[in-house]
Structure 1
Amino acid sequence: MSYSNKYIFTALPRTQRGQPIVLGGDPKGKNFLYTNGNSVIIRNIENPAISDVYTEHSCAAIVAKYSPSGFYIASGDQAGKVRIWDTVNKEHLLKNEFQPIGGPVKDISWSPDSQRMVVVGEGRERFGHVFMAETGTSVGEISGQSKSINSCDFRPARPFRIVTGCEDNTIGVFEGPPFKFKMTKQDHTRFVQAVRYSPSGCHFASAGFDGKVFIYDGSSADLIGEIGSPAHKGGVYAVAWKPDGTQVLTASGDKTCKLWDVETRSVITEFVMGSQVEDQQVSCLWQGQYLLSVSLSGFINYLDVSNPNKHIRILKGHNKPITVLCLSPDRKKIYTGSHDGFISHWDSETGENDRIQGVGHGNQINGMKIIGNSLYTCGIDDSVKQVDISSNNYTSADIKLDSQPRGMDVKDDTIITASVKEISVLQGGRKVTSLPVAYEPSCVSINSTHPDVAVGGTLDNKLAHNKEWGFHNARVNTVAWSPNSQLVASGSLDTTIIIWSVLNPTKHTIIKNAHPQSQITRLAWLDDGTLVSVGQDCNTKIWNITAS
């Protein structure tokens, strides 16, 4: 047997309230970058279903930026390490790894010649550093600011300058190379969250949690003026320049993005993104003709300047670990549920997706099954809920259980749940009977032809039918039969998927690091040669499996 990865329906950016995130853009305008967990995610901006995932960081990656040449990406992580890796080879070969600061990296910027870079963040001994990308040799110091530095940018023209935005409310200005502290600008009254030079380097903009945005001269750093009065009613998390430098886009915690004319410093367009906390805007990027923003929910919004009330596109999905998976009866639609209680449905061919609406579990979903036109779910809020899949909305059905469910199955009008303390039978929207158990169930399955129920517990890393298959190195989390019953796929805590042949039990294929640094949580077969996997990396992967 052989396998190949067909699609990756990638995770959304990992967000946190009160924390801006940084989007990176390909200098050729083709791709954009962000991070989630240990992964750096590269997506095609015109067709976001085309994506790639870099997974070589040993802890959470925070920021990633393309070099101006486009040949390399530098990504920084929670431990202060910066990895520089190539974009040309599929394997993304590592060029260099440095540790410029001793804490989380918050921003990275390359010099326009792709030879130097500045890295800033929460370092213990220093909050930033400038060095040669080829050797790591220091080419200056980032000093003169007393707290964590949130943002940095290299002037894209000579004479070279570096600006930094700090949590001591100041903007640092540095001249070089070698780069030395020149001055601080103290126009902001709260944290400075973003500093960005215009594409020509004539100006730079700063944005802060005081809701203010300022424009400065790119060479002298003289203040030119304030945009708006103030620009936003809430903190400003990000600012992005139009390629010709005549306009800037701002993203704010007041749940709006705004487009500004730089010369007049007046608003051109306001994008009202919603009214919920999840609609706060934590990042933005201007990439060629595309204006992107990121909501606190993780959704990526393609803004339409000609129609600010309707987005061109919204990329949805998950930014928390995926815990459950099931397929529509025709196997053309994939349903995934996550640790934070959200359910998404995906077109298995295109990756187009949307989110189930209504009042759901609000926390981890442990079981999910479709029967007819209904999707049933159980969660760690000790309840079973129902979704009408024709309208993609939760119904009012809400059955309470006496303990936390670990799995469920449905047949006709009967729902069986395997909970921590009992096996329950649900019918007609209520619990009709239960069986206390002395062990802790982990899964349940109803026989399709006989009135039997199988309940599973711990199997110690082994997959058992009439034979014992024991090639996993850790707990087996999920097992799935192919529609023709000739293949069995198993997914494990050890990050691997194993495809087993029933006709030839000695034959098996191991997909190593199927979800790198992430356990496999669920598997399902779209057809006899196509497997779906989900994991704690928040990604959904489609695999071609060829039996030989």
Structure 2
Amino acid sequence: MSIKAESIWAAQPSTTRGQPTPISSDPRGERIAYASNKSIFLRSIDSPALSTQYTAHTTTTTVARFSPSGYYVASGDIAGTVRVWDCTGSGTTKGEFPIISGKINDLAWDGDSQRIIAVGDGKEKFGHCITADSGNSVGTISGHTAQINCVSIRQQRPLRAATAGDDASTVFYHGVPFKFNTSLKRHQRYIYGLGFSPDGSTLVSVGADRKIFLYDGKTGEAKTEIGDGEHKGSIFGVSWSSDSKRFTTCSADQTVKIWDAEAGKAIHTWRMGSDEGVVSIPDHQVGVTWPAARSDDMIISLALSGDLNYLSPSSAKPIRVVQGHQRNTTAIIPTPSQPPTLFTGSSDGRVCAWSTDTGEATTVDGAGHTNYVSGLASDNSNSKIYSVAWDDSLRTVSHSSTDIPTFTGSHHKTDGQPRGCATCSEGIVVVTHKGITLLSPTDNSVIKTLSTSFSPVAVAAVDETIAVGSDDNTLRIYSPRGLELKHTLPAFPSSISCLSFSNPAAANSNQPYLAIGFSSGRILVFSSTNKYSSPVIERWSAHTARVTSISWDARAERAVSGGLDTDVFVWSVKKPGGRVSTHGAHKEGVGGVCWVGGDGDADGKGKEGRVISVGGDGTVKVWKVESVE
């Protein structure tokens, strides 16, 4: 009896409009590192579904950089703390160092992987130089009058470093110990990107004034300005090729460009998003890295939407776009197909479709939600997914095995804030804080609306039964025909947080079970056999905080639950005291759970299955469950 982590489908990098987002790649060109919410992710370039999550930061993370040796990562957060940790497998934290009293914007390693300079928006200072193993000071960062946005260290000796920031100054340092040498003010506005070439001969800076300046990498002497007028928006990032002859830039004009450093000309341009002249804010390019040691010359850029664009000089368009969630993932539903497609929704309104075979996500196309997705439901035809969100709307997603999932044009405006949705024999049930609405599955037209004296908080449905939990701690059972009230259960001691029916066609179940999750962390299981008069299982009570989601396996023999306590539990119906769990499954809590596979056969064999969970860290995690009896 066990539950084991199988894979992590990583969250996308966190981005902010008008600000650069650092991303970096390892020396072998195999992985990228970036910050997302309160985690750091190391993600395979060739197989994005393979990733590692570092969760030791206690506040929002901002930057992560691989050491030149490739054995360690240094990461920073908004509290001004830098952590150095092993990235070869164990994830062990080597050191935790308070740098400044504010947000870390960027950091850089020296060529020996022994020293780090971290910069940002501090109150007493804007950066500091430390040793990577002990945090001892190895210099002083000075010469700036505003926050520092970027830093780079020359990888050869004599060591040189450069910083730049909101005061439009580029400051050059000699080391070690690092100390102020000169300050150059070529830019007219904020400087967002800075980088020494791999051979140390040249330093490049880019910024909000859309200008690119080159400096001598050893002396700091200004050399030339290139590309005047090429970019039409702020330049947010720069990265060198391993041959030190070319570099790439990304910009708010939705373009990524490759530059010939010697000729001073752009030699390749990609434009993301819509046609030329049509502004697409989500396609602003806010970060870029040029992975070393790769034969394909690939560049990876980051869009404001969180999309990672894989760019090749041999193609005018991205050869691959890696998508997913940036924010708290709040809802999950698998399709009945085999293999199932997984749909997830997040607090920013994004809905994604995931291949459970490959772990790749596709953002649902079309006009979607603009706010917190509070519920997802699937119809039995396997062609539609219904979603509700706090933009007070129900929308329909059309999907098939061959086409890109797309929001259809029709949607229903709800009369209040939706708390959830479900499908039954008569159509789609949506509960809002004002009441219950039954909608037609063909055109989302209203069949019946029931205004209630209570405020519904959760809903589940199966065939001819609708269960609604309310803010008065009461569960009510309705018939889909006319929304007729059938049963009202006595009020529970704590508030209902989620509901889930088991599969009525389960081989070992004559009737569907109804699991009720509570804000206290307890779960009760009822059956229609006794008209829900008393629970048939009362021992599922291991959660220590609100239960956010419950899902049954296809045989109705096991259930999985997730809660705000960050835990995922798998429960047994045959032995209610038997359970397996994984603690700390999702940083900031579990938002949803579901079963995929593990149906078993008639003689009870083949009970292995997979549980998929989503949560506050924006990830989708796959767990292998074995022999829960």
Say whether the fold is shared (TM-score over 0.5). Answer: yes
Q: Map 1:227-376 to 2 at 5 A.
A: 227-275=226-274, 276-288=280-292, 289-308=297-316, 310-331=317-338, 332-371=340-379, 372=381, 373-376=383-386
Deviates more, 1:522-531 or 1:226-235: 226-235
Query: Displacement of 1:210 after TM fit?
Result: 0.2
**Structure 2 residue aligned with 1:379, among 382, 385, 389?**
389
Q: Secondary structure at 2:282's aligned position in 1?
A: helix
Query: Displacement of 1:435 after TM fit?
Result: 2.2
Query: Displacement of 1:395 after TM fit?
Result: 1.5
Query: Displacement of 1:463 after TM fit?
Result: 0.6
| Cα-to-partner distance string for 1:301-326 (whole Å, 9 max, x where unaligned) | 00121122x21110011101111111
| Cα-to-partner distance string for 1:1-27 (whole Å, 9 max, x where unaligned) | 201111211110011101101012111
Where does residue 543 of structure 1 map in the other structure?
623
AA at the equivalent of 1:185? L
Where does residue 473 of structure 2 map in the other structure?
none
Where does residue 60 of structure 1 map in the other structure?
60
Query: Displacement of 1:50 after TM fit?
Result: 1.1
Distance (whole Å) between structure 2 residues aligned to residue 384 and residue 85 of structure 1: 44
Query: Displacement of 1:502 after TM fit?
Result: 0.6
AA at the equivalent of 1:279? D
Query: Displacement of 1:440 after TM fit?
Result: 2.8
Where does residue 494 of structure 1 map in the other structure?
565
Query: Displacement of 1:536 after TM fit?
Result: 1.5
Q: Secondary structure at 1:442's aligned position in 2?
A: strand
Query: Displacement of 1:180 after TM fit?
Result: 1.1
Distance (whole Å) between structure 2 residues aligned to residue 413 and residue 435 of structure 1: 15
Query: Displacement of 1:452 after TM fit?
Result: 2.1
Where does residue 9 of structure 1 map in the other structure?
9
Distance (whole Å) between structure 2 residues aligned to residue 126 and residue 233 of structure 1: 33
**Structure 2 residue aligned with 1:405, among 394, 403, 418?**
418
Query: Displacement of 1:379 after TM fit?
Result: 1.4
Q: Secondary structure at 2:205's aligned position in 1?
A: strand
1:527 equivalent in alignment to 2:570: no
AA at the equivalent of 1:541? K
In 2 relative to 1, CA 89–47 (structure 1 residues): closer, same or farther, beyond 3 Å? closer
| Cα-to-partner distance string for 1:195-239 (whole Å, 9 max, x where unaligned) | 100001111100010000111110011122112113411110000
Deviates more, 1:391-400 or 1:153-162: 391-400
CA contact (8 A) 2:48 2:360 kept: no
CA contact (8 A) 1:374 1:388 kept: yes
Where does residue 482 of structure 2 map in the other structure?
none
Query: Displacement of 1:412 after TM fit?
Result: 4.2
AA at the equivalent of 2:597? D
Q: Secondary structure at 1:278's aligned position in 2?
A: helix
Where does residue 461 of structure 1 map in the other structure?
521
Runs of 4+ in 1 over 6 A off after TM superposition: none
Query: Displacement of 1:263 after TM fit?
Result: 0.6
- Could you tell me which runs of 5 or more consecutive residues in structure 1 were left unpaired when the two chains were aligned: none
CA contact (8 A) 1:62 1:106 kept: yes
AA at the equivalent of 2:398? D
Query: Displacement of 1:353 after TM fit?
Result: 2.3
CA contact (8 A) 2:95 2:133 kept: yes
Distance (whole Å) between structure 2 residues aligned to residue 76 and residue 64 of structure 1: 7
Where does residue 396 of structure 1 map in the other structure?
409
Where does residue 106 of structure 1 map in the other structure?
105
AA at the equivalent of 1:368? L
Distance (whole Å) between structure 2 residues aligned to residue 442 and residue 522 of structure 1: 16
Query: Displacement of 1:402 after TM fit?
Result: 1.1
CA contact (8 A) 2:424 2:465 kept: no
Q: Secondary structure at 1:146's aligned position in 2?
A: coil
1:471 equivalent in alignment to 2:542: yes
| Cα-to-partner distance string for 1:439-487 (whole Å, 9 max, x where unaligned) | 3322212233xx2211124223211112222111100011010111111
Q: Secondary structure at 1:232's aligned position in 2?
A: coil
Distance (whole Å) between structure 2 residues aligned to residue 412 and residue 435 of structure 1: 18
Where does residue 124 of structure 1 map in the other structure?
123
Where does residue 145 of structure 1 map in the other structure?
144
Distance (whole Å) between structure 2 residues aligned to residue 534 and residue 478 of structure 1: 10
CA contact (8 A) 2:33 2:43 kept: yes
Where does residue 512 of structure 1 map in the other structure?
583
AA at the equivalent of 1:474? A
Query: Displacement of 1:329 after TM fit?
Result: 1.3
Q: Secondary structure at 2:4's aligned position in 1?
A: strand
In 2 relative to 1, CA 361–413 (structure 1 residues): closer, same or farther, beyond 3 Å? farther
Distance (whole Å) between structure 2 residues aligned to residue 349 and residue 442 of structure 1: 34
**Structure 1 residue aligned with 2:461, among 441, 446, 450?**
446
CA contact (8 A) 1:322 1:534 kept: yes
Q: Secondary structure at 1:287's aligned position in 2?
A: coil
| Cα-to-partner distance string for 1:56-95 (whole Å, 9 max, x where unaligned) | 10001100111111111111111000111112333x1111
Where does residue 605 of structure 2 map in the other structure?
none
Distance (whole Å) between structure 2 residues aligned to residue 175 and residue 35 of structure 1: 30
Where does residue 85 of structure 2 map in the other structure?
85
CA contact (8 A) 1:213 1:230 kept: no
CA contact (8 A) 2:15 2:304 kept: yes
Q: Map 1:91-240 to 2 at 5 A.
A: 92-240=91-239
Q: Secondary structure at 2:143's aligned position in 1?
A: coil
| Cα-to-partner distance string for 1:284-310 (whole Å, 9 max, x where unaligned) | 0000332010001110000121122x2
AA at the equivalent of 2:349? G
- Could you tell me which runs of 5 or more consecutive residues in structure 2 were left unpaired when the two chains were aligned: 275-279, 471-495, 497-517, 526-535, 599-608
Task: Kindly name which structure, 1 or 2, has the bigger radius of gyration based on alpha carbons.
Answer: 2
Query: Displacement of 1:118 after TM fit?
Result: 0.4
| Cα-to-partner distance string for 1:403-426 (whole Å, 9 max, x where unaligned) | 111011112451111111211111
CA contact (8 A) 2:423 2:462 kept: no
Distance (whole Å) between structure 2 residues aligned to residue 292 and residue 383 of structure 1: 35
CA contact (8 A) 1:213 1:231 kept: no
AA at the equivalent of 2:288? C
Distance (whole Å) between structure 2 residues aligned to residue 28 and residue 340 of structure 1: 35
TM-score, scaled relative to structure 1: 0.97
Give the CA RMSD over aligned residues: 1.3
Distance (whole Å) between structure 1 residues aligned to residue 159 and residue 347 of structure 2: 46
Where does residue 21 of structure 1 map in the other structure?
21
Distance (whole Å) between structure 1 residues aligned to residue 227 and residue 454 of structure 2: 63
Where does residue 433 of structure 2 map in the other structure?
420
Distance (whole Å) between structure 2 residues aligned to residue 383 and residue 176 of structure 1: 59
AA at the equivalent of 2:128? H
CA contact (8 A) 2:3 2:581 kept: no
Q: Secondary structure at 1:22's aligned position in 2?
A: coil
CA contact (8 A) 2:284 2:303 kept: yes
AA at the equivalent of 1:242? S
AA at the equivalent of 2:70? G
CA contact (8 A) 1:499 1:509 kept: yes
CA contact (8 A) 1:260 1:267 kept: yes
